[in-house]
Amino acid sequence: MKKCTSCVLPETHETISFDKTGSCNICNQVEIQKENIDWNKKKQELHELVENYKGKYDYDCLVPFSGGKDSTWAVYYLVKVLKLKVLVVRFNHGFMRPNLNDNTTKVFRELGADFHDFTPNWKIVQKLMLQSFLEKGDFCWHCHSGVFSYPMQVAVKFNIPLIFWGEPSAEYTSYYSYDQPEEVDEKRFNRMVNLGISADDMYVRLGGQVDKRDLSPYRYPKLKDLRRINYRSVCLGSYIRWDVKKQSKIIADELGWSGDRVENVPEEYSYEKIECYMQGVRDYIKFIKRGYTRPSHLASIDIRNGRMSRDEAVLLVKKYEGKEPPSLEIFLELVGLTKEEFYQISLSHSVSPWNFDINNIEKGEKLHDFDKWSRDGKMKREDSEKQIKTWSLRNNN
């Protein structure tokens, strides 16, 4: 399988392409960030943008929040540096880890900000997880759709036109480049967030198993309603240079935010994806489908920032990637699948030329808080079988 000659991302990475030297477009566009972007000018644009909204509404801006490094840094910067009155909105996906919840309490007590926390119906979440896994080999539709649509609904409801997200997508993919304006709007939502499945599409795919109203949290607001409040939805990282290692240290030192281990991720990346105890399963599915996972992504960022050599990255990837995570047993219980079904479904979504070796599976290690990860609300086998049967009949499988 071909990999970038500069970083370690493979040809199965979404939106990737290679130049004549074998270097990928992600590496090349990060060079744009380093060399062609006038960050002083961008920061001035940020101040001008903020001044258009500051003090004119009940809140100066809204910040969608997971509790991870990027959203915590965004809240920190907007509250502490820009002195804004912020409404923080969290869509709780159902898999928050104990340390994440402790972090959230510490952060808001240190900073001082209003916090709107929404948890959707768990029974609906289970159906959505199973359906999106069947359809796309990705069980996180409910999380991504909810995280990006629900805060926008809150912005409309409370008349908060300015919405700040964290890092721009150019850090990881080529859906957008650093020299291309990236509005976090419905076009972006449909392009790179919801797996090509809208809330109405999901209702149809579930075959009437849920009430249409149950999918409201995952439905992007109508454009006429967003225009009515004169909204701007942007990435903070489009205006200030994003550096997760520096930012993680600042929020740790000043807010008491602490990192955590993540399944099959090196300990030195303890700031990465600490908010979800299903992260190991999602990464593992990506490995089955595409032949790489989070260590490749993280090592590639370090290579681009001069913190790691490519040879070191290759060794790191070999050591950590592709192990079956202990959290898989929890995932299977929560969506009512057998392990055989899990592998069958995952392999049906594999991306050529990668071929996963199902006969050579290595087990990953349990993390320190594994026994605290909730297994409550398991899906009944008869419910999952019914859902799988409906999906199979619709797809003639």
List, for residues 88-139, the tens digit of each pLDDT value. 999 999 999 999 999 999 999 999 999 999 999 999 999 999 999 999 999 9
pLDDT digits 0-9 by tens, 338-352: 999 999 999 999 999
Which of 324, 320, 328 has the alpha carbon at shortest distance from 277? 328
Q: Which residues contact 378 (CB under 8 A, 6 or more apart)?
A: 333, 334, 336
Contact 86, 61 (CB under 8 A): yes
Residue 362 corresponds to which tokens in the numbers above? 């290595």
pLDDT at position 322 over 90 = yes
pLDDT at 235 over 70: yes
Question: Residues 64, 91: contact at Cβ < 8 Å?
Answer: yes
CB-count burial class (<10 Å; 0-12, 13-18, 19+) for 122 = exposed
Tell me what the pLDDT averaged over the chain comes to: 93
pLDDT band, very low/low/confident/very high, at 174 (cuts 50, 70, 90) = very low
Q: pTM value?
A: 0.93
The model's pLDDT over 216-232, given as tens digits with 9 standing for 90+, comes to: 999 999 999 999 999 99
Q: What is the mean pLDDT of residues 168-177?
A: 58
Instruction: Give the pLDDT confidence score for residue 104 in this predicted structure.
Output: 97
Can you state the angle between helices 98-111 and 69-76, rounded to 10 degrees? 10
Share of the chain above pLDDT 70, in %: 95
- What's the rounded mean pLDDT across residues 156-165? 98
